[in-house]
Structures are given as structure tokens and as C-alpha cells.
Structure 1
Amino acid sequence: MLGLVLLNGFNVNLQNSSVIICKLYFYASFLFAALSPTVLILASIDRLLISSQNVDTRLYSSKRLAYFSISISTVFWIVFNSHALIKVNLQEFAPFYFVCYYDLSSTYLDFVSYFVAVNDVIFDVLMIVLCVFAFKNVRRIRSIPRETRNQIRSMTKKDFQLLRCLFVQDVIFIIFGTLTSIFYVFDAITKYQNGTIFEQAIRNFLYNFMSFIYSTSYSVNVFTFIIVSKAFRHELKRTIYKIIGKDLVPIREEENRQENHERDNVEMNVVSIIELPV
């Protein structure tokens, strides 16, 4: 994302200034583009396990399994995306004009195009499946009477809030990811077709627009947490007050006094409209 900001916002091409920066730029782009949705999928799987009514299934939701899964996924993507360190280099497109780009062989370009397209489609499908199953689990929990609900599940209020945040994140990723997936699939199919200048301009516009959408999907997470999670809003408020040197306890006491005062006013109004029997 930093590279896109420097390139599109300030027209700064750091990746064209050095071979090392060029390789690291593409490698980091491939790595984090795959690692971020992978972690989101693993978190969604964890919430899916803990929302299950089966006790044995809920036992799989543990920190140890989470650390192990994230470690294995990280190592896999680090090794798998190492092709960018080999095949990406400063390519000379004109005399004394070097651009950081992939190896110009058609085989590697086909590999990159189809890998990006297939990878995005797989991520989107997994997100949709996990969202559907998590939504079904929550509906089953909501349909159980409140008296017996605590006997068959171990989800706390924070678990529900985290599940809600992840559900919204998954929906956002699916919406933005589906658009980019459609574009990458279309780009992989039609990349060897020669178009007019107008068609090439549209293609470049769509590429820049999809890059913006792709970056936006990772930028709205903090706003999602603020809107969806009450606990996150409270922690954010507490952090802000701690930075500016104010104590949050008196503020919370003042809010509680205001809530109690409003509740007393409501009770007084209710009592005042009750007619005593004659």
C-alpha cells in the first residue's frame, strides 16, 4: 500500500532506483497480499469453531492451534512467494530506461496472472463459505432458549463482538475482493488481445481503480471496529484519554450518573401517569 501511495500520490518510483528495493517491493506485495486474507480466514475458522454447539469442536479453538496455523501459513507464503526475488528485476524497456517488472518470459507472466486470479477467487469462495456457516451457528444459538443457552455453549459477550467484527470484515473483503477477482480473471484471459487506444485507456483506468479498491478493503478495518464493537470504542476512548492525560474513571462515573438520572426521570414520568384506583 505504501508503494501505491508513493507511486500514485507523489509519482515516486522507489522500486526503479535499486535492484534490491525492486525485488523486495514485489516480494512484499505478493507476501502481504496472500498473508492478510489468510490470517482473516484463519480467524474466521476459529470463530466458526468456537460458535459450534459441539463441545469437542469448540476445543479446537485454542491459542496453541492459532499460533501453529499462523506460523505454518506464514512460512508457506514466505517460501512460495520467493519466486519474486528471482524473477523480478529492473527491465530495460528503452535505452537507459529501466523499470522494475517481472521477467518478460511469457511463461512466468502467465503464471503470475493465473496465480493472482485463482488465488483471489479461492479466498473469496472460502470467505463466503465461512460467513454462511458462522451465520448459521449464530442463528442456532439465538434460537435456543436463554435458560439453556449457557449449558451448551461457551461463547462470551466478547466472543460475540469479535465474531460480529470478523463477519463484517469478511463481508467487506468479499465485496471488494470479488470486484478485483473479476478484473484479474478478465485481465488474465484478455492480456494478449490487442485493443484500441480507448480500450487500453479503459484497461489502465480499471487497473488503477481496482488497486484503489483493493487498498480500501484493508483501510476500513478500524472504522469497522469503531462502528460494530462497543468494547473497541471503549478501549479506544480509554487510550485517547490516557494519551492526553485524563482519567477515564471519573468520566465513566459521570456517564453512569447521567444514565441513572435519566432512568430516574423515566420512572418518575411513568409513576406520574399511573392512575390510582378509586
Structure 2
Amino acid sequence: MSTLAEQLQKILLNISQYYLIPIFIVGIFGNIFNGIVFSWSTLRNNRCSLYFIIASMAQLFVLVFGCLFRIIVSLTGFDLNVSSLFICKFRTYLFVNGIILSRHFLCLISIDRWMVTSTNVSIRNLSTLRMTRLLTIISTIIWLLFNIHLLIGFHIEHNSCTGNFETFYLSFFTFFSLIVSLAPLIILMIFTTLTLKNITNGRLMRRRNQKNQLLRLSMIQIIVYILSNIPNTTYTVYALTTANYNKTNDQIVTDGFINLMTSNLLYTYCAVRENL
């Protein structure tokens, strides 16, 4: 192993010990706490509470089946992903569903915010607790069923849990990765803009500084999403498009380092998002 590879391996180990473990602990307790808070009787009938609860559960999936697995590999050298085909498939299935559902409910929260601020009575009437429950159940089932392709497309190869990227599945998964990352960003930007327009037109906020506060919070939400999610998507697309290339040991280690760094941003997002 070259000097570069050795240095990167050492950095990876330090990151796992001194960064990922605290992030994992904070994320687990934070998301559980959020789920409990939004389950209280005083908040239970709030339309968005259910969205926040499911989003917190989804983020727990990301932390457990992503961050925790990464910590175990770094500290013990034992990769649970390749210990059995069952773990490989279902870990990937639950991890990806966690990411998607977390983003999905962020979009639903943004859309609900637009509906409740609309000057159109018909649109406002769509924002009901019954509609929230219906959307939560139906959309979750749809995503869980759609992502069954992960159970079919992933397998253990060359001591790694990977997709069957020598077939059409490579193109499909690349496109899929882009859509589930960029679509929420676009939806978030569109409905944030529409919400601000509703507030301006309907004069729902009399004070200008209140509108500016909402704008500032929305911009922070969008910027944080971009910084924490897009790098990992970019790396994923790169990894998929170069999956069949012959790489040197240094390239493999470097790719692993970049993968860890971009994944850390995603784990951090899932750990602290509800506090933003």
C-alpha cells in the first residue's frame, strides 16, 4: 500500500472514531426525541406532526443502516454488508428508503406550508389531518414498493455489496440517484417561492421582518440541503459511471475517502436536520 493510501486509511479511521460516533449518538437521540415530542397530544393533531414523525423515523434508518455500519467497518474491519446476501440487500433497501422518505416528507411539509398560506379557499381546505394521514400512508407504501428493485439489483461481488452494474441497471440506478436528490430540491425551491408569494399577496404577515425571517429560514433550509445532499449524489453518479473501470489501489482508496466525506455530510444532515 502506498503512502497516500496509508494516510487516507488513517484519516478514515480517525473520522469514524472522532466524528461519526458523536454524530450517530446525537442523531439517534435527537430523532427519537423529535418523534416523541411530535407525538404528544398537544401536537398530535397538527397536520405536519405526522410528517415530522415519519421523517425522523426515516432518518433513524439512514443513521442505523448507513452511519452505524460505517462505524463498525472502520473500527473492527468487519463489513456486515458482505457477511450475508440478506443483510446486503435489506441494508441497502432500508438505507435508501430512509434517504428517500426523509426527503419526500420534507417536500410534503413544504407543500403543506404553501397550501395553508394560500388565498384560495379550495387549496387551503386540502390541508387537513385526514389528507395528511392519507398522503403519508399512500406515499410511503408507493416508495417501499417501488424500491423493491434494490432487493433485486444488489448482490455481493468482489467482497462488496454492490448493484448489478454490468446491465441496464447501471443506467437506471444512475438516473434514479439523480432524480431522488434533485427533485426534492426543485420542489422545495418552487413551493418556498409560492409560499412567500402567498404571504405577500394575502398579507398573512403584517410585519415585514416576519416575512424576511421566513425567507431567511427557507434559504438556510435550501442551502443546507444542497451542501449536505448534493455532494453525495455527485459522488454516487461518479462511482456508478466509473464502476466498470480498472482502478489502481490509490484510486480505490481515494474514492473511498471521498465517499466517506460526502456520506458524512448526509449523516450529519439526518442527525441535525430537525433542529435547523
Residue 71 of structure 2, aligned match among 6, 9, 21: 9
Alignment of 1:161-176 (within 5 A): 169-176=221-228
User: Is 1:181 matched up with 2:247?
Assistant: no
Supply the AA of the counterpart residue of 1:107: F
- Indicate the residue corresponding to 2:190 in structure 1: 129
Larger radius of gyration: 1
Residue 23 of structure 1, aligned match among 56, 67, 89: 89
Change (3 A) 1:141 1:197: farther
Q: What is the CA–CA distance in structure 2 between the aligned matches of 1:68 and 1:114, rounded to whole Å?
A: 28
**TM-score of the two chains, using structure 2 as the length reference:** 0.63
Q: What is the CA–CA distance in structure 2 between the aligned matches of 1:180 and 1:132, rounded to whole Å?
A: 26
Shift of 1:214: 1.3
- Indicate the residue corresponding to 1:255 in structure 2: none
Shift of 1:66: 1.3
- Indicate the residue corresponding to 1:77 in structure 2: 143
Any stretches of 5+ residues in structure 2 without a counterpart? 1-62
- Indicate the residue corresponding to 2:266 in structure 1: 214
Q: What is the CA–CA distance in structure 1 between the aligned matches of 2:245 and 2:173, rounded to whole Å?
A: 17
Q: Which has the higher contact order (CA 8 A, sep 6+)?
A: 2
- Indicate the residue corresponding to 1:53 in structure 2: 119
Change (3 A) 1:49 1:163: farther
Q: What is the CA–CA distance in structure 2 between the aligned matches of 1:193 and 1:19, rounded to whole Å?
A: 24
Could you report, residue by residue, the CA deviation over 1:174-213 in whole angstroms, capped at 9, with x for unpaired residues?
A: 4322333333444445555556665554433222111111
Report if aligned partners of 2:65, 2:94 keep a CA contact under 8 Å in 1.
Answer: no
- Indicate the residue corresponding to 1:153 in structure 2: none
Residue 152 of structure 2, aligned match among 86, 91, 95: 86
Report if aligned partners of 1:48, 1:134 keep a CA contact under 8 Å in 2.
Answer: yes
CA RMSD of aligned residues (A): 3.2
**TM-score of the two chains, using structure 1 as the length reference:** 0.62
Change (3 A) 1:102 1:39: same
Could you report, residue by residue, the CA deviation over 1:64-111 in whole angstroms, capped at 9, with x for unpaired residues?
A: 1111112221111111111122232333x2xxxx43322353322332
Supply the AA of the counterpart residue of 2:66: L
- Indicate the residue corresponding to 2:130 in structure 1: 64
Q: What is the CA–CA distance in structure 2 between the aligned matches of 1:53 and 1:126, rounded to whole Å?
A: 20
Could you report, residue by residue, the CA deviation over 1:242-277 in whole angstroms, capped at 9, with x for unpaired residues?
A: xxxxxxxxxxxxxxxxxxxxxxxxxxxxxxxxxxxx
Q: What is the CA–CA distance in structure 1 between the aligned matches of 2:161 and 2:106, rounded to whole Å?
A: 30
How many residues align? The count is 206
The alignment partner of 2:156 has SS state of strand
Residue 109 of structure 2, aligned match among 43, 48, 51: 43
Report if aligned partners of 2:67, 2:267 keep a CA contact under 8 Å in 1.
Answer: no
- Indicate the residue corresponding to 2:176 in structure 1: 115
